[in-house]
Chains A and B, each alone.
Chain A
């Protein structure tokens, strides 16, 4: 897959490498990037050869420094904008990816940068990474899911604090509060992401997908419903027919 202006895509050995590619703009999330990313994710979702995805940012300074504000004031009026939002529901697509996604983040991870990493299943940060959510300081709120995915990951207490104070935190603090899974040296960031991806890619793909489904969908259910889902998925893997089939 090629020909995207703002996103690079490479696939090898079952690993899809998705790179946000606007390094001069610190990979700021623009309308163009939204459209490119939507196509890439759609293709990944339908590609059974992809076992794991890795999301990263080009350039040295940032994984993604947030939304491209230069586009904001000329955005369509709210009614039209809302329609577009749901016509190409990129965050719903991201959340529905069957393959596990690893975010390998460095430098500035701000606003939509954090939000994109939150739609991934794991986050590896390089030691100098800094995380922040500046939206309320701009008179807006996160619109890439941050008000929903962040509390579900790190708990409401810390999420409210980060979202309402725009306090930037270091990779070490991000690790402590559970925002990221691992912190590594910058120069081994992609190597670590690759080795984690390779490990996952070496397992039975159906089992991996079933685990992701059980955990992610289960979190939206009551415990009894979630246990039932787990049982159905596990039976499905064994080739047994699910209840009622």
Chain B
């Protein structure tokens, strides 16, 4: 396991936290980030105990200096042959991923945020798909995930104009789910994470999968996917536990099986 240098990875019960503690300023940092994230996400993906992932920018802004960034994807591809973009690593996690956003979430930082499932922003945060102002274009999924989230109109305006918007506007267009005061960010994420971690973990993963994979299917195909996952859950103990607990007006204790 690579030493955590750019990302601090901790677990607390069923919740894993990833803090992006360092500003990425050059190509070596970027490479290190991708490698660390690869190791961490592989481990999280393989760990059933972990039910929810919380990503934080560790109090620093989630923007990446664009010095050398333009050549990054190409360079990484050449160095390792098959280096996935880090947004893909986050998007590929089976567990739901919550992300706390403060400061400036620009360019590649926004692309990472888009790869998460729920975005909670601090009220002073700003957002922008600003690659064009550095002569770049998004390469960590920004041209695909932004429009699927906020619609083509908003995505084109933000990306083509390299416009920077504030948190209330981000909330209005659906770019973020919630906006909270700075001193409530941690507790909001904590509460959300622990609340979700108390629900059926397999059901949680299947719900995420049905939504994510389903959006790329026709409605009819998506309904089939949902039905297949639903019937698979019939074979889980957690389903019986959840329903019995409800019938007995008690709190369910899900075991992830």
B230 with A141: CB separation less than 8 A: yes
A148 with B214: CB separation less than 8 A: yes
By size class, the interface of chain B is: 35 or more
CA–CA, A142 and B229, complex, Å: 10
Q: Does A163 contact B (CB under 8 A)?
A: yes
Contacts of B243 in A (CB 8 A): 69, 72-73, 138-140
A140 with B211: CB separation less than 8 A: no
Q: Does A152 contact B (CB under 8 A)?
A: yes
How many A-B contacts are there with CB distance less than 8 Å? 154
A148 with B222: CB separation less than 8 A: yes
Q: Does B32 contact A (CB under 8 A)?
A: no
A82 with B247: CB separation less than 8 A: no
The smallest beta-carbon distance between B166 and chain A, in angstroms, is 17
Contacts of A147 in B (CB 8 A): 207, 210-211, 214, 222, 226
Q: Which residue of B lies closest to A163 (CB)?
A: B207
Which applies to chain A's interface (DSSP): helix, strand, loop or mixed?
A: helix
Contacts of A70 in B (CB 8 A): 247
- The number of chain A residues with a CB under 8 A from chain B is 46
A140 with B203: CB separation less than 8 A: yes
Point out residues on A near B: beta carbons under 8 Å. 69-70, 72-73, 75, 77-79, 81-82, 85-86, 91-92, 95, 135-143, 145-152, 155-161, 163-166, 177, 219-220
Known pairs A139-B199, A156-B211, A164-B199; list 19 more (Cβ under 8 Å).
Answer: A70-B247, A72-B243, A75-B234, A136-B200, A137-B199, A138-B252, A139-B233, A140-B203, A147-B211, A148-B214, A152-B219, A156-B149, A157-B118, A157-B175, A158-B174, A160-B96, A160-B118, A160-B208, A164-B96
A-B contact pairs, 9 of them (CB 8 A): A136-B196, A136-B200, A136-B203, A137-B198, A139-B242, A155-B150, A158-B174, A161-B118, A164-B199
